[in-house]
Amino acid sequence: MGCPDETELSITIVGDRTIHRLNREYLGKDRPTNVISFSLQEGEFGNVARHALGDVVISADTATQEAEAGGISSYERLIFLLLHGILHLTGYDHERSGEVEAVRMEHKEQEIWKLLQKEGLTALP
């Protein structure tokens, strides 16, 4: 995915209230969402810590609701949202870059998801 061999990532699991606040304060969206990624490789200080990829924040509340609606386990949904967040941190985008990039990101998600399933990493032991 284009990351250096030694790359750090922060993962935080929160409730809807916290992710709603983060979404409002940093992204201007006044609602909770399932996952937000904050890159440490972009912007004015993007070169300060080359080993720090960024932060992925996942709402356990929204993930659980989505899992129930999709008939999958909460664990499986959390793993998928983590994958989605990491893809955002590595340059994939489905919101601002148009349809071609959205399809590119979806294909990469599917490719990696299949690998995770093959290795048995998408289900609790």
Q: Where are the domains of the chain?
A: 8-118
- Nearest alpha-carbon partner for 55 in 36, 42, 35, 38: 38
pLDDT single digits (tens) 19-59: 999 999 999 999 999 999 998 887 776 777 778 889 999 99
Tens-place pLDDT, residues 53-83? 899 999 999 999 999 999 999 999 999 999 9
User: What is the residue type of 125?
Assistant: P
Length of the chain, in residues: 125
Q: Is the pTM of this model over 0.85?
A: yes
What is 8-118's CATH number? 3.40.390.30
110: DSSP letter: H
Q: Identify which of 6, 30, 3, 23 has the alpha carbon closest to the alpha carbon of residue 92.
A: 3
Question: Would you say the C-alpha torsion 4, 6, 12, 13 has a positive or negative sign?
Answer: positive
